Structure 1
Amino acid sequence: MTYRQRLSFLAFMDSAIVLTAIFFSSFLVNADLHVITVPIIVSSVTLLLGHHFFSFIYKLYKKAWEYASIGELIIIFKVITFSIMVAAAVQLLISQNVHFRLLAVIWMLHMLLIGGSRFTWRMFRDAYMKKADNKKRTLIVGAGSAGAMIARQLLNNHHAELLPVAFIDDDVKKHHLDILGIPVIGGVDHIERSVQELDIDNVVIAIPSLGKKELNVIFQECAKTKAKTQILPMIEDLATGKVSVNQFRDVQVEDLLGRDPVELNIDSICEYITNKVVLVTGAGGSIGSEICRQIAKFHPEKLVLLGHGENSIYTIEMELKDLYKNTEIEFITEIADLQDKLKMISVMNTYSPHVVYHAAAHKHVPLMERNPEEAVKNNVIGTMNVAKAASMHGVETFVMISTDKAVNPTSVMGATKRLAEMIIQYIDQTSNTKFVAVRFGNVLGSRGSVIPRFKKQIQMGGPVTVTHPDMIRYFMTIPEASRLVVQAGALAKGGEIFVLDMGEPVKIVDLARNLIKLSGNSVEDIGIEFTGIRPGEKLFEELFKENEVNEQQVYPKIYIGKTTNLSIEEIENIISTYPALDKDKLREELLALANHNVQSKKLIPISS
C-alpha cells in the first residue's frame, strides 16, 4: 500500500469512526435516532473537521501502528480531546449551550474506537504474525534499562531473528514481574533450568556495567546449556553509532579473562608525552604496535617506530597515518637490528627522543630453549645497546617491557629478560635517564600466545592441546598491557620494576574449554589432549620474587618491586663468552646467573 493509499484509508476509517461515535452517543443520551437536531449536525461537522485538523497537526496518520506504544496513545488523546473542546466552543457560540453529557460520551467512544482500531493491528501482529515466524526463542539476562530496550526493539522489529520470552535478573524485587509482557523468572542460578524448560535458543547478556568476574559467572551458567550466548556491543561502539543495540556480538575470551581495566592518569601521561619525541622499539609487534596506538592518542610531536621486520612496521605506520592524518604528529619508521650498537646510537642522535619504550624481544619460550644464543643477542645485548644509546643522548625516560617469566626463571627466555632487567636497573644508577621495567603475564591474542593456537585447532576440528591439566597463567589484554606501560613511564622515578595486579590466574585447560564453548562446539566433540610440560615451562608463573614484594600500590592496581642485587660483572662476562659455549652450557649459565644475584664491583662503561 502506497503512502497516499494508506493516508486515504485511515482518513476514511477515522471519518466513519467519528460519525459512528457521534450518532451512537446521541442514541445513548437521547434514545431517539430519528431526531436529527442542529447540535448533532454541528457537532458532527465540527468534530469531523477538528479530528482531521489535529490529526494533521500531530501527524497521527504518519505513525507506524504496528509499533504503537504510550507515545501514540498520548497523541490520540490530544487529537480527540482538542476536537471535543473545539466542538464545545462551537456549540456555545451557536446555541449558547454546551451538551456536556453528549460530548463526554462522544469522547469516550471516540477514544475507544480510534485507539482500538490502531492498537488492534499491533496486537494482531504480536500475537499471530510473530508466532508464524521461525524466530529464535531468547532469554535476556538483565532486566534493567538495557534489557528492556533490547526487548522492545526485538518485539518491534518484524525482521529480527530473536524473540524474547523471559528475563533473568538477580534483583529479587523484579522476580515474578512482567516487563513489556515478558516475565522475569529468576536469578542467574536459574539460567540452566530456564533454558531447558522454555526451549531457549539464544541467551543475550544485557548488562553494560558488568565486570569481568560477574560476566564469567554468567557465562559459566550459560555454558552448561546448548543455547548460543551473546552480549551487548561495546559501549564505545554504541556511543559512536558504529553499531545499534540489537547488533549483539558473541562473547569473546577477552571478556572473560583478566580483570577490569585500570583508569589512566591522563594529566601525568600528557605531561611527559604530549609534544615530545617518542621512540618505540619492536613497534611492529603485538605489544609495540598497541603502545604506538596508545601513545598517538596523547599527540606527541614525533613518534619513531623502530623494528626489524619491514612488513609489520609498514602496517602500523600506515594505520597510524590514516588515523591521525588531520594532526601534526610526525610518524617516522626505522628498520634496524638492536644488535647493531652503532645504529642504535645513530637513531638516538638523529631524533633525540624524550621517551623510549623498549618492546623488542624474543619471547617464544620453546624456540629460545633451542636457540639460547639468539635470546642473548636480542634480549640481553639488544637491550644493553638501546639502553646505553638512550643514556648517552639524554633520553628522559626509558621503559622496558619485561615478563613474569623473569621471576625465578626456568627458561632461557625468562632468564634473558631477567638479565635485561638487571642491566637497566644498573644503568639507572649511573645515568640521568630514568630506567624502569614493566612486568606482566600472558597477553591475550599476542603473536605466539596460546589463544590463536587454540582457535586454529578448534577450526580444524580438534583436539586442543594443553601441556598439563594444572598449568595456570595470568592473562591480560593487549590494550591493558600497553596502558600499563604508558602509565609506568609517568610514575617512573628510576630503577623500578612495575607490576600490574592481574587478578586471579587462569587454568589453561579452563581457557581451552571456554574457547571451545565460545566457538559453538562441545568439549566432547573437539576434545582436549594433554601433551606434557615443554622445556623451560613452569606450572605457574610469579610476578615477584619473595624478596622483591612491596605490598603498597603506587597507583590503583599497580605495584612496584624492590631493587635487588645486580650481577653486572657476570652479565658482561656471558656476553663476551656466549659464542664459544654450546647450547646446553649457555642455557645452564643463563639460568644460574638469572637466579643468583651478586652485587658487582665492575661497571659497564656507559659511554662505550
Structure 2
Amino acid sequence: MSPINFLFQISRPAKRAVSVSLDIFFVIFAFASALVLRHDSLTVVSETDSWLLLFLVLPVTIGAFIRLGLYRAVIRYIGPQAALSVVIGVAVSVLSLVLASFFFHIPVPRTVPFIYAAFLLIFVGGSRFFVRALAIQSRKRGKEKVVVYGAGSSGRQLATSLMHGQEYEPVAFVDDDQSLQGNFVMGRPVYAFDDLQGLLLDRTVRRVLLAMPSLSRSNRSKIISNLEPLSVEVLSIPGSADLVSGEARIDELREVAIEDLLGREPVEPKPQLMSANIFDKVVMVSGAGGSIGSELCRQIIKYKPKMLVLYELSEFALYSIDSELRRTIEKQKLEVVIKPIMGTVQRQNRVETVMRTFKVQTVYHAAAYKHVPLVEYNIVEGVRNNVFGTYYTAEAAVNAGVETFVLISTDKAVRPTNVMGTTKRIAELSLQGLAKRQSLTTFCMVRFGNVLGSSGSVVPLFREQIKKGGPITVTHKDIIRYFMTIPEASQLVIQAGAMAKGGDVFVLDMGDPVKISDLAVKMVHLMGLEVKDAANPNGDIEIKYTGLRPGEKLYEELLIGDSVEKTTHPRIMTANEVSLSWTDMFHLIDNLDEACHNFEIEKIQKLIKEAPTGYVPSSDLCDLVWKDRPPTKDSSNVIGLHSL
C-alpha cells in the first residue's frame, strides 16, 4: 500500500493528529527559515529571544487554525474555503509575531514577518493542496474517461461529483456557447461539437454525459441526433424537476430517454380540463395496474379526487400501484382515499356493486387485452375482455348513475387487420350505442397509438436485446408506429374526457410516425455500439427482420374517413364516424355472446367482419385452442359451457 493510500485510510482523529504535528513543524521551520534567510547566518536560530518569540507565536497559530476549522476539512475535497482559512490563519500568526516582538521588546527585522508569511503559506497551504492533487491523481487511475456535454452550472456540478467519485473522470466539456469554447472550466478544456469526434479518438472516450436538464426536448433531440452517428454511448443526468424536488441526484446517470429522440414538446395540460371530472369526485380506473391505468392514477391524485377506486384483476399489479399511490399521498400530504378492488370487468354485477357502493362519478376504462398476436391466439378471451368487458362496465356505469365514462381505445381500431383492433372498435360502437340509448351517463372514447415504455413496447425490448449482445428483432424493415409518452397520453385522455358531450370519438395528435428499424439503429448507436450488417460485418449488434406477426400491419391510422374537427385543445381532435343504433348493437353483442359460448371461431370472425369496423384480417385464423381442437361430430358441444 502506498503512503498516500495509507494516510487516507487511517482514522479521522489520527489524521488530525498528523495534520497538527505537521503544522507545528511547518511553523517552526518557516520561522527559522525566515530568520536564517534574513540574517544569512544559522547562529541566530540558537538565540533565546528567537525561541521565546516562537513559543508565543506557535500556540496562537495552531489555535487559529483549529478555530478556523482547518483540521475538520477533508483534505482530498478541500477547496477555496480551506485556502481562505489558511490565509487568515497565516495572517493571525504574522500579527501575533509582530505584537509579541513589540510588547516583549524583542527586535525582529521588518522583512522577517513577510518572509515568514510566505514560507508558512507555502508549507501549510501548499502541503494540503499537494496531498489533494495526489489524491485526485490516485482516483483517476482506473476511472473511465468521459466528456460532459454542457459547461453550465449543471455540467460543472456533474464534473465535480464525478471527480470525487470512483467511476468516471471528466476530461473535457463540449458546449454550443461560443464564448466558452477554447476556455477552461474547472481545469478542463471546453470544445465545440465539431471537435468532439477527434476528441473521442484522441482520448479513448466512449461516453458522453448530457448535463442540460432544463433544455427543451426539441433542442435535446437535435443534440442527441447529432451524437447518434458517432456511435458513442450517451448518458443523461435527471431532469430539472427531479433534481429540484430532491428525488434524484445530479450524478445519477441514466440512459437517454427515447422520448428525447422524438423531439416532441409536450403541451402543458389545462388545469380546468384536468380537474373537471376529478376534483372532489369519486373516480374509478379499471385496469388500474396496467401501463396506462397506473399512469392515469398517478395523474388523477394530483387533482385531488375525493376517492380513487383501483379496479384490477391482477393481484400483484393492484398491490404495486396501491403501494405507490399511498407513498405519494403520504409524501405530498394529499387527502385522497384509495380503494384497491380486485375484480374482472367481465362480471357486470361485481363492477356495478363496486360503483354503487362507492358512488363512483367518473370512470376511466383502461382494462383490455392489447397484445395483437396474443389476442389472435386467444380470440374468445379477446372478445370477452375487450368487447364484453367494456359493455358490462358501461352498463354497470349507467345503472349506478356514473356521470362520465371514458374508454381508452387504440389506433389499431381503425381499419383493423387483427382481432384486438376489431374488438376495440366494437367496444367503441357499444359505447356509441349506449350514448344514443340514454343520457344519464356521458360516454366518450379516446384513441391513440403506442406509448413509450408500456407493457410490450419495443423500446424496453430493444434495450434488453442490445444489452444481451443482440440480435435486435424487428418484424419488418418498413414498419412504422406512432409514439407518445405515457404521462402525456394520460393527461390528454383526462382532458378529452372533460370535453365529452356523448358518444364522442377523440383522437390524440401523435406527431410524426417513427420507423421502427431507424429507432433500433439509433438505440444501438446511443449505447456506444455499431450495427452489424453486410456493410459493417465487424459491428456489434445485428438487426434481424422476423416478418409481420399474425394480425400485424405496417402502418397504423388514427381516423376513419376525413370528417375530423379540431377542439379547444391543440393535441385533441374529434372524429365523426359510422355508428350503430342500439338495437343493431345489442343484436351484434347477443350473437357474439352465443358464438363465444359455443366456441365458434369462424362465426365470431364472420360477425366482426359484418360489423361496421372495416375489419380485413391479414392472416388466417390462428386461435391456438381452435386449431388444435380434437375432431368431433358436434362442434357446438366441444367446449360450450358457460362456466369456462
> What TM-score, normalized to structure 1?
0.84
State the alpha-carbon separation in 1 of the partners of residues 195 and 67 from structure 2: 49
SS at match of 1:390: helix
Alpha-carbon contact 1:357-1:399 (below 8 Å) kept:
yes
Amino acid at match of 2:424: K
When structure 1 is superposed on structure 2, of 243-252 and 65-74 the one drifting more is 243-252
Structure 1 residue aligned with 2:588: 574
Structure 1 residue aligned with 2:178: 172
Amino acid at match of 2:401: G
SS at match of 1:163: strand
State the alpha-carbon separation in 1 of the partners of residues 329 and 407 from structure 2: 26
Structure 2 residue aligned with 1:279: 284
Q: 1:134-184: CA deviations, max 9, x gaps?
A: 221212222111222222223234xx1222212111222211111121111
Alpha-carbon contact 1:273-1:355 (below 8 Å) kept:
yes
State the alpha-carbon separation in 1 of the partners of residues 121 and 513 from structure 2: 63
Amino acid at match of 1:123: A
State the alpha-carbon separation in 1 of the partners of residues 369 and 11 from structure 2: 67
Structure 2 residue aligned with 1:22: 31
Residue 416 of structure 1 pairs with residue 426 of structure 2? no
Q: Give the superposition deviation at 1:405.
A: 2.3
Structure 2 residue aligned with 1:600: none
Structure 1 residue aligned with 2:80: 70
Alpha-carbon contact 1:39-1:91 (below 8 Å) kept:
no
Correspondent of 1:103 among 108, 113, 121: 113
State the alpha-carbon separation in 2 of the partners of residues 169 and 47 from structure 1: 51
Q: Give the superposition deviation at 1:473.
A: 1.0
Alpha-carbon contact 2:312-2:318 (below 8 Å) kept:
yes
Q: 1:224-262: CA deviations, max 9, x gaps?
A: 456443222455554555654333233354554573444
Alpha-carbon contact 1:233-1:249 (below 8 Å) kept:
yes
> Do the aligned partners of residues 169 and 258 (structure 1) sit closer, same or farther apart at CA in structure 2, a change above 3 Å counting?
closer
Q: 1:74-132: CA deviations, max 9, x gaps?
A: 111111123333444444555599975443343333323322222222233445x345x
Structure 1 residue aligned with 2:609: 588
**What value does the CA root-mean-square deviation take over the aligned residues?**
3.6
> Do the aligned partners of residues 346 and 245 (structure 1) sit closer, same or farther apart at CA in structure 2, a change above 3 Å counting?
closer
SS at match of 2:373: helix
Q: 1:274-304: CA deviations, max 9, x gaps?
A: 4422111122322223323333444433322
State the alpha-carbon separation in 1 of the partners of residues 14 and 339 from structure 2: 63
SS at match of 1:543: coil
SS at match of 1:415: helix
Q: Give the superposition deviation at 1:410.
A: 3.9
State the alpha-carbon separation in 2 of the partners of residues 124 and 366 from structure 1: 61
Structure 2 residue aligned with 1:141: 149
When structure 1 is superposed on structure 2, of 35-44 and 143-152 the one drifting more is 35-44
> Do the aligned partners of residues 99 and 543 (structure 1) sit closer, same or farther apart at CA in structure 2, a change above 3 Å counting?
farther
When structure 1 is superposed on structure 2, of 392-401 and 269-278 the one drifting more is 269-278
State the alpha-carbon separation in 1 of the partners of residues 432 and 255 from structure 2: 44
Alpha-carbon contact 2:49-2:106 (below 8 Å) kept:
no
State the alpha-carbon separation in 2 of the partners of residues 363 and 17 from structure 1: 75
Q: How does 1:148-547 map to 2 (within 5 A)?
A: 148-157=156-165, 160-187=166-193, 189-225=194-230, 227-235=232-240, 238-239=243-244, 241=246, 244-253=249-258, 255-257=260-262, 259-266=264-271, 269-270=274-275, 272-321=277-326, 324=329, 329-369=336-376, 374-425=381-432, 427-428=434-435, 430-454=438-462, 458=466, 462-492=470-500, 494-517=502-525, 522-524=530-532, 525-545=540-560, 547=562
Structure 2 residue aligned with 1:50: 60
Q: 1:361-397: CA deviations, max 9, x gaps?
A: 2322334456655544433343233223323433222
Amino acid at match of 1:386: T
Amino acid at match of 1:179: V
Amino acid at match of 2:574: G
Amino acid at match of 1:202: R
Q: 1:405-452: CA deviations, max 9, x gaps?
A: 233444443333334334434544641433332222102232333345
Q: Give the superposition deviation at 1:570.
A: 4.4
> Do the aligned partners of residues 310 and 47 (structure 1) sit closer, same or farther apart at CA in structure 2, a change above 3 Å counting?
closer
When structure 1 is superposed on structure 2, of 512-521 and 348-357 the one drifting more is 512-521
Amino acid at match of 1:384: Y
State the alpha-carbon separation in 2 of the partners of residues 456 and 586 from structure 1: 40
| Structure 1 segments unaligned to the other structure (5+ residues) | 596-608
SS at match of 1:111: helix
> Do the aligned partners of residues 100 and 38 (structure 1) sit closer, same or farther apart at CA in structure 2, a change above 3 Å counting?
farther
SS at match of 1:550: strand
State the alpha-carbon separation in 1 of the partners of residues 51 and 465 from structure 2: 82
> What TM-score, normalized to structure 2?
0.79
State the alpha-carbon separation in 2 of the partners of residues 458 and 80 from structure 1: 59
Correspondent of 2:133 among 123, 137, 140: 123
State the alpha-carbon separation in 2 of the partners of residues 369 and 382 from structure 1: 18
SS at match of 2:455: coil
SS at match of 1:77: helix
> Do the aligned partners of residues 141 and 543 (structure 1) sit closer, same or farther apart at CA in structure 2, a change above 3 Å counting?
same
Q: Give the superposition deviation at 1:521.
A: 5.5
SS at match of 1:400: strand
State the alpha-carbon separation in 1 of the partners of residues 124 and 342 from structure 2: 75
Alpha-carbon contact 1:373-1:586 (below 8 Å) kept:
no
State the alpha-carbon separation in 2 of the partners of residues 240 and 224 from structure 1: 34
Structure 1 residue aligned with 2:571: 558
State the alpha-carbon separation in 1 of the partners of residues 114 and 255 from structure 2: 55
State the alpha-carbon separation in 2 of the partners of residues 315 and 151 from structure 1: 36
Q: Give the superposition deviation at 1:398.
A: 1.8
SS at match of 1:60: coil
> Do the aligned partners of residues 258 and 313 (structure 1) sit closer, same or farther apart at CA in structure 2, a change above 3 Å counting?
farther
Alpha-carbon contact 1:371-1:583 (below 8 Å) kept:
no
Amino acid at match of 1:104: F
SS at match of 1:59: coil
Q: 1:504-537: CA deviations, max 9, x gaps?
A: 3211112223444566664314422223334543
SS at match of 1:184: strand
When structure 1 is superposed on structure 2, of 275-284 and 51-60 the one drifting more is 275-284
